[in-house]
Structure 1
């Protein structure tokens, strides 16, 4: 689909969507518009624990024979965290109607729920850098009176992490 040239600034999201949408459509059958609107489609009850994965479109016999055929609704695969999948399964009809309303035609006939983690995992950091100078001397003074070696080591690790953290 060719985009007409406009004067002025083009938003990066428009360029990114033009690049990403064909790949998503081919591999997953979904668009960035669906992903971006998922919070409104899923509702506040499920927006934080679900994510649309793909739409599995059925292969038609007429398509393989080279004939044009009618549209058949697909299956929307939704990733859902843990026990919330049970509650989501009770809302399948509502999700189907909301997705179809979003597309403007009966694109989805059913929903398949896959239980898996959805929220982004926090990035793991490496061990904190050793303290130097005044901060190292201050930490040594704080833990000097502790006799238990395990406790002293744990407090030293904690102190290194806290004192070595950049101030904001």
Structure 2
């Protein structure tokens, strides 16, 4: 409220500068400073850990931080927290994990991986897709008969049945 008791948008010459934003749009900006303080260049690496390294590795580990040499944004060390029983297995998978993290960043951000044996990794819900595929119509099967490779034909039939079972446009998450 202004001194005259009117809201500012009712005052003559007042222009609104900003616009309403969703909370989801603001959260990455708010969290960025905190994540950088703890060594993360992007907060998305924590949120997308399962996508980056795969379900199996993400169930056994959580990223703690990425530490870079002073003044650089490459050649860092990825610090993982792993339950003791899985540490040795993840040590053997280190080159694969480093390669996947670097593929996510798009450059050689990580060159080493340090494993810290800690408390068990909290269980994450595993999404299990229900097979809701519809049977493929005979017209589609007739069109796919020209495909000579059995594996390719089966894959195309499976794709057609999955597409046929969806409603509306595809949701890309």
- TM, length-normalised to structure 1: 0.56
In 1, Cα distance between equivalents of 2:46 and 2:22: 18
Counterpart CA distance in 1 for 2:47 and 2:18 is 24
Identify which of 107, 110, 113 aligns with 1:111. 113
Are 2:27 and 1:16 aligned?
yes
- Secondary structure class of the residue paired with 1:58: coil
* Residue in 1 that maps onto 2:80: 78
Aligned runs of 1:78-157 on 2, under 5 Å? 78-117=80-119, 118-119=121-122
Task: State the shift of 1:71 in Å.
Answer: 5.3
RMSD: 2.2
Query: Which position in structure 1 is the counterpart of 2:134?
Result: none
Query: What is the Cα deviation at residue 25 of structure 1?
Result: 1.2
- 1:71–1:29 Cα change, 3 Å: closer
Unaligned runs of 5+ in 1: 64-69, 121-168
Count the aligned residue pairs.
Answer: 106
Mapped to 2, the partners of 1:106 and 1:55 lie a distance apart of 12
Q: CA deviation at 1:46?
A: 1.5
Tell me the distance in 2 between the aligned counterparts of 1:13 and 1:110: 32
Aligned counterpart in structure 1 of residue 57 of structure 2, from 18, 21, 46: 46
